[in-house]
Chains A and B, each alone.
Chain A
Amino acid sequence: MNKKLLTTYTIIAFIFLYLPITVLIVFSFNKDKISSSWSGFTLDWYYKLFQNTDLLNSLQTSIFIAIFSSLISVVLGTFTSYALYKFDFKGKVAFQSLLQYPIITPDIVIGIGLLIFFVLINFTLGFFSVLIAHISFTMAYTTLIISTRFNGIDKNIEDAAIDLGATPFKAFRFAVIPSIMPGIIAAFLISFIISWDDFIVSFFTSGVGTTTLPVKVYSMIKMGVNPQINAISTLLLMTSLISTFIVIKFQNNVTG
């Protein structure tokens, strides 16, 4: 068709997608506090971040929650995917579709449902409620990713290992796990990114004492534009981008 027109359009669309993020990053190095005129390079906003104890506490919370929720959901995901790959059981199809529901359900529904649930059973809102809440959706992603990997491996490797004298545990540990390892690592990283970025579910389930980084950033944003938010945003963006690049690089190494 109009090849030139289509190319130009796509380039403009990509500029549109990247411009806001780029501006944010650039202005995190701007000396001027209020206006958007460039008045010189500074790292002040980053220094200030590292003196903000509230922020550092929420950073720590976010890191712990992202790591623990990813670890637990990778273990759950591996077990579930293995069971789905290996066995037939009653309600398998229903269970498989149930596993996908946390992905399509809007976050606000999960967040509020869990808030009601925790309050009803008198579970104190804080670190553990956020951790549990995160696992209930990261688990859906890890199962999906690891299951895909299971579908790609040879069904006979486990039997072959057993025929060669391995116990079922050894066969699982030394034949199955290594073949799905790339899936496990990808699942861990993607789960990490999703938990790290989550705001809505944490917002409803975190209570007063515990704040994750996005919840903290949200309360800062409500106060208006501030270069410190630009700086923390840049760091958050970088973490997500670096994790993403690791996933891509890793997948390429495996497939290529």
Chain B
Amino acid sequence: MLNYRITYKKLKNAFLIPSVFWIVTFFLIPVFLMLIYAFFERGDYGGVKYNFTLINFTLIFDDLYYKIILKTFVVAILNSLLCLLAGYPIAYFISTQKNQSIKNTLLVLVILPFLTNFLIRTYAWMVLLGNEGLINTILFNLKIIDNPLQLLFTPFAVQLGLFYNYLPFIILPLYSSIEKINKNLYLASNDLGGSNLKTFLNVTLPLSKSGIFTGLFLVFIPTLGEFIIPDILGGSKSVMIGNIVKDQFLTARNWPFGSALVFIIMFALLIVMSAKNIITKYNAK
């Protein structure tokens, strides 16, 4: 027995070293490397010159860029709120189902589109919104319009695409927090004369706070870094941070500036995460 324990101790390293190596080398170092690159000068043909500079961060405040950055934040906040408003009733509805198998089926139906390809879910909207797309064809055949409506390649299309893709992200955390609420609290509130609306506002909503925060976080952060949806559904007016980042790395070849832009996304991630942790701790007290 004792001998085996010693063997185990040696084994411990053998079990841990591969994954520690992997995550440090192929995740941690690359992410830090990118953050460091933000403080270097750009090289002549892509890459960097190893001179410390803050020029990439001042470039962010350039007229051309800060507006796009600001707009990206507005779009991301709007998308998080829209998803919350639209997702909450769905999560609430699923949690009130009494039949467990209906509940499970509905949850699977929420998760399914989320497990299909992001690119394809976005492309599907091109098929619907295009000038020869389904919506315009139907409206035309019903003689409601004479000329196709410009739906695709607009800010509206981008906001719709973001909403469509991220809605399932918020339903799951909302569901799990609403589901945990003790159902007797609803009865108690009703017995004490609370109307349904009052019960909702004073019982359901406050008790599902953690789900609301997690859900908003799960929508806000990826929306901030999004570039596929504006790239596919948006026009030149719907550029977001992610699109500039992509251009800096693939066409403009200003890697340090691209890194500085990613810095903003990481910084927002950090702030939102610490805010979430503080709120969670505060609520736990």
* Residue pair B18, A79 in contact (C-beta under 8 Å): yes
B121, CB-defined interface residue at 8 Å = yes
* A70 contacts chain B at the CB level, 8 A cutoff: no
Provide the residues of chain B in CB contact with A13, threshold 8 Å. Answer: 86, 89-90, 167
Q: Which residues of B are found within 8 Å of A16, using beta-carbon distances?
A: 164
Q: Which A residues lie within 8 Å of B65 (CB)?
A: none
Bound: A122/B215 CA distance, A: 40
Asked if B29 CB lies within 8 Å of chain A CBs, one says yes
**Does residue A47 face the partner (Cβ distance < 8 Å to B)?**
no
- Which of A51-59, A128-136, A149-157, A180-188 contacts the other chain? A128-136
- SS of A interface (majority): helix
Do A132 and B26 have beta carbons less than 8 Å apart?
yes
Which of the residues A10, A83, A132 comes within 8 Å of B93, measured between beta carbons?
A10
> Can you name the residue of chain B whose Cβ is closest to the Cβ of A114?
B30
Which of A102, A136, A233 makes the CB contact (< 8 A) with B117? A233
Residues in A with CB closer than 8 Å to B120 are 21, 24, 217, 233, 236-237
A199 touches B262 (CB 8 A): no
Q: Count residues on chain A whose CB falls below 8 Å from chain B CBs.
A: 80
Identify A241's interface contact among B23, B110, B112, B258, CB under 8 A: B112
Q: Are B121 and A20 in contact (CB under 8 A)?
A: yes
Chain A residues within CB distance 8 Å of chain B: 1, 6-7, 9-10, 13-14, 16-21, 23-24, 27, 34-37, 76-77, 79-80, 82-83, 86-87, 89, 95, 98-99, 101-102, 104-110, 112-117, 119-120, 132-133, 135-137, 139-140, 143, 162, 167-168, 193, 197, 199-200, 204, 214, 217-218, 221-222, 225, 229-230, 233, 236-237, 240-241, 244, 248
A sample of 30 cross-chain residue pairs with beta-carbon separation below 8 angstroms, ordered by A number, consists of A7-B93, A9-B90, A9-B93, A10-B94, A13-B89, A17-B113, A20-B164, A21-B120, A23-B128, A24-B120, A83-B15, A87-B8, A95-B20, A98-B23, A102-B23, A104-B269, A108-B242, A109-B262, A112-B259, A113-B30, A114-B26, A117-B33, A120-B33, A132-B26, A135-B26, A140-B23, A197-B115, A217-B123, A218-B119, A248-B108
Q: Which of A23, A89, A112, A199 contacts B127 (CB 8 A)?
A: A23
Given the interface pairs A107-B225, A135-B26, A221-B126, the reply to whether A116 lies near B168 with Cβ below 8 Å is: no
Cα of A117 to Cα of B33 in the assembled complex, Å: 7
Confirm or deny: B57 has a beta carbon within 8 angstroms of a beta carbon on chain A: no
B16–A36 contact, CB under 8 A?
no
Instruction: Map CB proximity to A onto B68-106 as digits: 1 under 8 Å, 0 otherwise.
Output: 000000000000000000100110111000000000000
Within 8 A of A (CB), among B179-218: 196-197, 200
Instruction: Give bound CA distance, A140 to B19, whole Å.
Output: 10
* B60 within 8 A of partner (CB): no
Is the Cβ of A113 less than 8 Å from the Cβ of B33? yes
